[in-house]
């Protein structure tokens, strides 16, 4: 248990005089509520950010009427989505159609729960941290594929199948980059990766060449994992209408929509943890102050999210065979060579 | 390929029909395409047209020639000026009405501005179809400048109705020359930027190079024309072959390419935009003085016989064919529309490729669906 | 190539052709319906005429007869010719298809069928392309009556 849990359990046991068992359960409920709140606010904030960033690139203003700089626009959108009728096609597979959105939501929440927002704010510090995040993201593929299949719509089916194959291919690259960084740090546990960076400097600097190659591969594969342009032929609006979520409306659609943005945040957060020192400040200026790490973490992650949004509004999209060629013929060999390179660099002690 | 044949024998796959329906973001209008697919590969494309068939040809048989010009705006609404000009030129040639140089120069400048506006819209939509959603905004933003110029002189932005039999409807606005020159100076800086955004992008090149190749013989056999056919090497620019209005007085090149793939069609249109700007620059400074309208009879009757007039719209070669029996309404008026002819090539281009390639091909053919359906 | 040379070359292929030159800027060749394919093929394959670009295919209702007007152009010699066929049969008019000579005729012949009711023998997929599949009547004929949809004076 990390510092956060003991603070809450201490508070509950000493101030509120609860027994250890009850304190344990209340604490779980509190942390779960906090994370649901973080998920919701994060989703809404990222949608607002996407719209403002898109407007910035397209030389227009974004939402600017609801609230200062349009901050409450997504709240209005969320209220609208909640009040919509949940339609679906007549011949859909009811059970699969209904449970499909929950796969993506639950896995996004689970991945959020292990991120180290700061030294004190990490809900679960599992010793397999990084591995846990990748495996949980893999389960999200099922949600997208089921949505495509269960909708009884050929366009959704094409979108779902494209997505399935795309996501399972690009997980290999992300996995291999993570292995390379694990070779450098010697651990998969997230707090220890950050601890390594506290001593040796950010991994992108301390691992120099293999880490930089790893970062570029991770950015490409991560964009593909979250189905963003240039890899968004899954939901290619110009070709398929809306892809796998064409037949969803209202809250079900909101689940997919928010989950896409939160997935983008998780991928960026992983890039920041593995390469840019999570909640550490540059040159260690504010490392001693508790809880300030959150600000650094959020700033760095939003920076990478901005770059991913920049990609979306600039590049055309790939065709499915070009996308798979890129992965299997180029990225996987490069990432395999990268692992070997990193191993040689660590063995010879050439890190900073 | 050995292993594909092996898979085809051992694994049973089925073809399925997919309907890229009348409402679809990629079909540029209301047209339906029925695709027979095997996985992602297209086996057959059948276009189903007629969702916007208004029977303009039948309507033209009941109206006079002056009124028929109003109906031509809505054929290919992105080159509405050239459509009006086609009917006006046909009636003037057949009835023996002479127009002065000022009218010819005004018509040519308006035609080239319309061509620029149409190609800008094509570029905006082409980027959007391949996934670069920002190009839509950039293209339309600059097109607004041309629309504003049109609005000042002609009164409307899209369906101009500006050419009449015997001239143009209103004289040029006093700001016209200055605004056009400002626009040309502004767009000359922007066009290289826009072209750079797509042409030098590896992803776009891989999406368009080698896709939808048509040879020159196929293009001639299918009756295709316009920039689509010029990208395969078929020299079909009516402005060069049968010059009309002021095109014999200006110096411009006909853009041809040889590869015949989607990227060649893209390049041809971008270079045509440069040529249009060059034509406007040559004409804008020396617009001759004169009347903007020549006096004609109130009721115009063409002599008996048949007449054909061809103009180069932004899509290709529009032919207006009139059979007249001496009365004031045409006996038969036929519009040979370039988009309808270009549709013949779609099947050959697309069979064997993927759905994403169909979208790119369809976007480079640049059809306007009301032009197909009339 | 001028009209007289074209007349000589084309006139040498068949006895039943009529040439008209006034009332049009191009040479008009009137072909009987049973010789349509023959003349069309010769027009395309002959080296001096080389008419390989079918510019337009128009259906016309002459009042008593129905006909098709072909505008054909040559891309090598840059001349254009007009070929006309007519039939008096208004109940079941039909001509031979030219889609294997000029592929551009494929949709154009469907359009002529849709609007005039002219059938083409040998066309692979003759169907109504613009109007609904269950539309009754042939709209562009002169004797078509439709009080609701038609614009009349």
Give per-residue pLDDT as tens, A212-230.
999 999 999 988 888 887 7
CB < 8 Å to B337, chain C: none
A268 φ, ψ (degrees, to nearest 5): -65, -40
Tell me what the mean pLDDT of segment B249-264 comes to. 88
CB < 8 Å to C75, chain B: 220, 234
Beta-bridge mates of residue A47 = none
Same domain for A210 and A308, yes or no, is yes
Helix/strand/coil for A333: helix
Measured between CA atoms, the residue of chain B closest to residue A153 is B18
Rounded to the nearest 10 degrees, what angle do helices A250-275 and A208-225 cross at? 180
C-alpha closest to that of B116 among B90, B82, B156: B82
Return the number of CB contacts < 8 Å for B and C: 79
Q: Which residues contact B125 (CB under 8 A, 6 or more apart)?
A: B28, B136, B139, B363
C-alpha closest to that of A44 among A70, A17, A9, A16: A70
Same domain for A148 and A119, yes or no, is yes
Q: And the tokens for A121?
A: 């704010």
**Arithmetic mean of pLDDT over chain B:** 87
- Is C139 domain-assigned? no
pLDDT at A283 over 80: no
Q: And the tokens for C53?
A: 């670009």
The pLDDT, as a whole number, for residue A1 is: 41
Distance (Å) from the alpha carbon of C23 to chain B's nearest alpha carbon: 4
The pairing of beta strand C119-121 with beta strand C94-96: parallel
C-alpha closest to that of B137 among A309, A56, A310: A56
User: Could you report the per-residue pLDDT of A179-201, keeping only the tens digit for each?
Assistant: 988 888 888 888 888 888 888 87
Q: Which residues contact A299 (CB under 8 A, 6 or more apart)?
A: none
DSSP secondary structure, A190-256, as one string:
HHHHHHHHHHH--HHHHTHHHHHHHHHHHHHHHHHHTT-TTSGGGG-HHHHTTGGGTT--HHHHHHH
C-alpha closest to that of C59 among A265, A48, B58: B58
Q: And the tokens for B215?
A: 């040879």
List the Cα angle A270/A271/A274 in 5-degree steps.
80
pLDDT at A235 over 70: no
- Is A295 domain-assigned? yes
Q: Residue B321 is nearest to which of C23, C58, C152, comparing CB atoms? A: C58
User: Could you report the per-residue pLDDT of B162-201, keeping only the tens digit for each?
Assistant: 888 888 888 888 888 999 999 999 999 999 988 888 888 8
Q: Is C55 on the interface with B (CB under 8 A)?
A: yes
How far apart, in whole angstroms, are the C-alpha atoms of residue A167 and residue A222?
A: 10
User: What pTM does this model have?
Assistant: 0.88
Q: Is C17 on the interface with B (CB under 8 A)?
A: no
How far apart, in whole angstroms, are the C-alpha atoms of residue B212 and residue B307?
A: 36
Same domain for A74 and A119, yes or no, is no
Boundary residue ending a domain (A27, A58, A83): A83
Q: Report ipTM (2 d.p.).
A: 0.90
- Is A314 domain-assigned? yes
How far apart, in whole angstroms, are the C-alpha atoms of residue B26 and residue B360?
A: 9
pLDDT band at A301 (very low <50, low <70, confident <90, very high): very high
Yes or no: say if B95 and A202 are a contact pair by the CB < 8 Å rule.
no
pLDDT at A237 over 60: no
Q: Which domain holds residue A235?
A: 93-347
B17 φ, ψ (degrees, to nearest 5): -95, 130
- B134–A239: do the CB atoms touch at under 8 Å? no
CATH of the domain at C100: 3.30.460.80
- Is C138 domain-assigned? no
User: Could you report the per-residue pLDDT of B305-362, keeping only the tens digit for each?
Assistant: 889 999 999 988 899 999 988 888 889 999 999 989 888 888 888 888 888 888 888 8
Boundary residue ending a domain (A48, A83, A118): A83
The full set of domain ranges for chain B reads 55-336
The pLDDT, as a whole number, for residue C34 is: 85
Yes or no: say if B216 and B233 are a contact pair by the CB < 8 Å rule.
yes
Query: How far is CA A268 from its chain centroid?
Result: 6
Query: From 1.10.645.10, 3.10.110.10, 1.10.10.10, 3.40.50.620, which CATH number describes the B55-336 domain?
Result: 1.10.645.10
pLDDT at A3 over 50: no
C-alpha closest to that of B320 among B114, B118, B69, B51: B69
pLDDT at A97 over 60: yes
Q: And the tokens for B89?
A: 């030129």
**Arithmetic mean of pLDDT over chain C:** 85
- B306–C139: do the CB atoms touch at under 8 Å? no
- Is C142 domain-assigned? no
- Is C11 domain-assigned? yes
pLDDT band at A329 (very low <50, low <70, confident <90, very high): very high
Q: Is A257 on the interface with B (CB under 8 A)?
A: no
How far apart, in whole angstroms, are the C-alpha atoms of residue A96 and residue A100?
A: 6
Helix/strand/coil for B21: coil
User: What is the separation, in whole angstroms, between the first and last Cα of chain C?
Assistant: 44
Residue A122: Cβ-neighbour burial (10 angstroms; 0-12, 13-18, 19+): buried
């Amino acid at each position: 248990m990390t510092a956060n849990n003991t603070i809450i359990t201490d508070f509950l046991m000493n101030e509120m005089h609860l027994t250890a068992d009850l304190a344990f359960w209340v604490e779980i409920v509190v942390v779960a509520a906090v994370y649901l709140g973080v998920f919701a606010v994060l989703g809404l904030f990222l949608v607002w950010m996407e719209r403002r960033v898109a407007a910035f690139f397209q030389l227009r203003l974004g939402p600017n009427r609801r609230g200062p700089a349009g901050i409450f626009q997504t709240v209005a959108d969320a209220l609208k989505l909640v009040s919509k009728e949940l339609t679906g096609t007549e011949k859909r597979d009811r059970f699969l159609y209904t449970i499909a959105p929950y796969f993506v939501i639950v896995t996004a929440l689970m991945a959020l729960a292990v991120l180290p927002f700061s030294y004190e704010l990490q809900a679960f510090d599992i010793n397999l941290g990084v591995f846990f995040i990748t495996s949980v993201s893999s389960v999200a593929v099922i949600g997208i594929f089921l949505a495509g299949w269960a909708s009884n719509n050929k366009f959704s089916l094409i979108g779902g199948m494209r997505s399935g194959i795309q996501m399972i291919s690009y997980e290999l690259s992300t996995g291999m980059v993570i292995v390379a960084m694990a070779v450098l740090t010697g651990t998969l546990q997230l707090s220890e990766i950050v601890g390594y960076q506290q001593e040796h400097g950010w991994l992108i600097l301390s691992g120099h060449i293999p880490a930089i190659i790893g970062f570029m591969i991770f950015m490409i594969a991560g964009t593909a994992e979250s189905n963003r342009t240039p890899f968004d032929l899954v939901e290619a609006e110009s070709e398929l209408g809306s892809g796998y979520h064409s037949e969803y409306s209202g809250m079900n659609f909101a689940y997919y929509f928010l989950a896409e943005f939160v997935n983008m945040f998780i991928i960026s957060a992983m890039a920041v943890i593995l390469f840019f020192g999570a909640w550490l400040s540059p040159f260690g200026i504010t490392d001693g102050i508790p809880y300030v790490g959150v600000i650094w973490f959020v700033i760095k992650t939003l920076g990478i999210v901005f770059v991913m949004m920049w990609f979306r509004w600039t590049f055309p999209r790939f065709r499915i065979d070009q996308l798979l060629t890129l992965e299997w013929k180029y990225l996987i060999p490069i990432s395999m060579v990268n692992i070997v390179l990193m191993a040689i660099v660590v063995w010879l002690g050439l890190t900073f | 390929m050995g292993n594909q044949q092996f898979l085809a024998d051992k694994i049973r796959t089925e073809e399925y029909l997919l309907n890229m329906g009348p409402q679809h973001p990629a079909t540029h209008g209301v047209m339906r395409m029925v695709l027979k697919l095997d996985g992602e590969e297209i086996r057959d494309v059948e276009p189903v047209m007629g969702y916007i068939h208004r029977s303009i040809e039948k309507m033209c048989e009941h109206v006079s020639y002056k009124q028929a010009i109003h109906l031509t705006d809505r054929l290919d609404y992105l080159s509405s000026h050239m459509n009006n000009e086609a009917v006006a030129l046909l009636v003037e040639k057949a009835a023996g009405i002479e127009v002065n140089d000022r009218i010819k120069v005004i018509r040519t400048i308006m035609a080239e501005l319309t061509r620029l506006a149409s190609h800008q819209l094509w570029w905006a939509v082409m980027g959007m179809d391949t996934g670069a959603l920002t190009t839509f905004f950039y293209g339309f933003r600059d097109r607004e400048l041309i629309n504003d110029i049109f609005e000042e002189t002609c009164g409307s932005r899209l369906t101009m109705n500006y050419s009449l039999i015997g001239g143009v409807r209103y004289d040029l606005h006093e700001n016209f020359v200055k605004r056009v020159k400002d626009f040309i100076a502004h767009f000359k800086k922007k066009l290289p930027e826009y072209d750079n955004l797509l042409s030098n992008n590896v992803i776009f090149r891989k999406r368009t190079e080698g896709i939808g190749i048509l040879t020159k013989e196929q293009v001639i056999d299918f009756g295709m024309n316009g920039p689509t056919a010029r990208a395969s090497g078929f020299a079909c620019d009516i402005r060069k072959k049968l010059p009309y209005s002021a095109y014999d007085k200006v110096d411009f090149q006909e853009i041809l390419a040889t590869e015949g793939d989607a990227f060649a069609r893209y390049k041809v249109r971008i270079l045509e935009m440069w040529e249009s700007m060059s034509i406007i620059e040559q004409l804008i400074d020396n617009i001759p003085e004169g009347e903007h309208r020549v006096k004609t009879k109130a009721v115009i009757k063409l002599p008996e016989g048949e007449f054909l007039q061809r103009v180069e719209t932004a899509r290709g070669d529009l032919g207006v064919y009139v059979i007249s029996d001496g009365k004031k309404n045409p006996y038969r008026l036929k519009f040979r529309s370039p988009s309808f002819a270009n549709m013949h090539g779609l099947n050959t281009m697309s069979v064997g490729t993927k759905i994403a390639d169909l979208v790119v091909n369809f976007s480079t053919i640049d059809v306007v669906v009301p032009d197909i359906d009339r | 190539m001028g009209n007289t040379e074209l007349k000589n070359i084309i006139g040498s292929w068949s006895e039943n052709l009529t040439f008209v030159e006034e009332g049009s800027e191009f040479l008009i060749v009137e072909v009987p319906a049973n010789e349509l394919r023959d003349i069309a093929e010769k027009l395309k394959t002959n080296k001096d005429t080389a008419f390989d670009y079918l510019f337009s295919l128009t259906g016309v209702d002459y009042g008593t007869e129905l006909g098709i007007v072909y505008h054909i152009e040559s891309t090598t010699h840059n001349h254009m010719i007009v070929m006309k066929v007519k039939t008096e049969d208004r109940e079941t008019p039909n001509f031979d298809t030219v889609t294997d000579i000029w592929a551009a005729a494929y949709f154009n012949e469907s359009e002529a069928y849709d609007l005039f009711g002219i059938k083409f023998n040998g066309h692979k997929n003759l169907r109504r392309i613009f109007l609904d599949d269950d539309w009754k009547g042939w709209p562009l004929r002169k004797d078509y009556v439709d009080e609701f949809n038609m614009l009349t004076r």
